[in-house]
DNA sequence: ATATATATATCGTGACACGATATTTATTAC
DNA sequence: GTAATAAATATCGTGTCACGATATATATAT
């Protein structure tokens, strides 16, 4: 802790941004691996999470999950196709607007997602504080002030 | 702010994890878009960042960046190939161990990376606090305590 | 009732990560 | 000191997936 948090040498902002992305990558790697161990593709996991974790009252359309996952509509369609084929997800045509497909999890999908959620929460409880600290360092170094007391 | 941070309805842990991934995805989308606007593939941006932002004294080998990017060695080789082809990066054989390739940025690579760094710092200064808050909520809901005062 | 917009779906393409394997150089065992 | 093993990088074929362009079906507006 202290000055070693952002060692001297190269541009401290680049140094800290690199560290942040590394920590982020570690989390994503954990997440991808956990999903695959559970028998899900990482993106399928994300789809299930956005479906199950949507705010109350959300209309769970393809367009909604596409926006939440940062995907184009057609990519979300394909992801839902694959997930449906594997019995993780079900589509039903919206009775109120037959253009829409409503997504919901199957029991299998819920089960797998639930297991992953606990693991992710644990991992984030460990990683979170480190991420937060690195984020603070970024803000410190991006305001290009000479560094005062670390932390 | 307050109770609305994690609305009622479905499992609040799933709800919060979904929110976290959405915020993360927003950042990544920003980052990918910024890189591409600057003429870089997102992964090339990450490679340059890990090269330029490595701690003083780091030996900048393929293996090093592979580990930092969470890639297999061969994927890092290919990424370095593409980046070298576009004049962002240079490889030199390590004189001390001729198996190793040492990576360094070209002037062009440094220039592009520098521009992106500022934009990213600004974006993270905005997004960081929200991420930190969501992370805290995850920790709150993963310890399955009944919720007390929000925040 | 026709035109336009919206939601989802289909298809061909390209980027890229990976496993398996090869090649070169170091290191170790004897 | 040479053979054997390890380590670092490179090459090649394959599969996944995200995308743009386009198509189809339903809703909305004029």
How does the average pLDDT of chain A come out, rounded?
90
Residue B100 has pLDDT above 70, yes or no: yes
**Residue from the list A49, A57, A139 with its beta carbon closest to the beta carbon of B18:** A49
Is residue B145's pLDDT more than 70? no
CATH architecture of A11-146: Orthogonal Bundle (1.10)
pLDDT band with cut points at 50, 70 and 90 for residue A6 = low
Per-residue pLDDT tens digits for B42-90:
999 999 999 999 999 999 999 999 999 999 999 999 999 999 999 999 9
Q: Is A104 helix (H, G, I), strand (E, B) or coil?
A: strand
CB A93 within 8 A of CB A101: yes
Query: Are B103 and B44 contacting, i.e. CB atoms less than 8 angstroms apart?
Result: no
Spanning CA of A77 to C1' of D22, the rounded length in angstroms is 15
Report the percent of chain A where pLDDT is more than 70: 89
Contact flag B138-A128 (C-beta cutoff 8 Å): yes
CB contact under 8 A, A138 and B121: yes
Query: Which of B9, B124, B141 lies nearest to residue A138, judging by beta carbons?
Result: B124
Concatenating the DSSP letter of every residue in B59-105 gives: ---HHHHHHHHT--HHHHHHHHHHHHHTTSEEEEE-SS-TT-EEEEE
Angle between helix B12-37 and B42-52 (nearest 10): 90
Q: What is the mean pLDDT of residues A120-125?
A: 96
Q: Return the half-sphere exposure (C-beta side, CA atoms, 13 A cut-off) of residue B87.
A: 5
Cβ atoms of B51 and B89 within 8 Å: the answer is: yes
Confidence of residue B31 (pLDDT cuts 50, 70, 90): very high
- C1' of D25 to CA of A99 (Å): 7
- The answer to whether the beta carbon of residue A104 comes closer than 7 angstroms to any atom of strand C is no
- The burial of A119, by beta-carbon neighbours within 10 Å (0-12 exposed, 13-18 middle, 19 or more buried), is given as middle
The full set of domain ranges for chain A reads 11-146
Residues in chain B closer than 8 A to A8 (CB atoms): 56
Q: Provide the 10 A C-beta neighbour count for residue B124.
A: 22
CB-CB neighbours of A128 under 10 Å? 20
CA distance B57 to B72: 23
**Local structure of residue A72 (DSSP, 8 states):** -
What's the predicted TM-score (pTM) here? 0.90
Q: B interface mutation test: which of A52, A55, A79, A122 has the most B CBs within 10 A?
A: A55
CA angle B120/B125/B130 to nearest 5° reads 115
Q: Which residues pair with B105 in a beta bridge?
A: B89
């Amino acid at each position: 802790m202290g000055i070693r948090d952002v060692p001297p040498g190269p541009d401290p902002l680049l140094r800290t941004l690199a560290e942040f992305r590394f920590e982020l990558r570690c989390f994503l790697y954990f997440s991808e691996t956990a999903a695959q161990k559970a028998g899900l593709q990482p993106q399928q996991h994300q789809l299930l999470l956005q479906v199950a974790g949507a705010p109350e009252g959300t209309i769970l359309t393809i367009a909604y999950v596409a926006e939440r996952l940062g995907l184009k509509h057609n990519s979300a369609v394909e992801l839902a196709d694959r997930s449906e084929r594997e019995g993780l997800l079900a589509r039903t045509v919206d009775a109120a607007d037959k253009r829409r497909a409503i997504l919901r999890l199957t029991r299998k999908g819920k089960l797998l997602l639930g297991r992953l959620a606990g693991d992710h929460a644990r991992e984030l409880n460990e990683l979170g504080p480190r991420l937060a600290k690195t984020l603070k360092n970024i803000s410190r170094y991006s305001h290009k002030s000479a560094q005062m007391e670390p932390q």
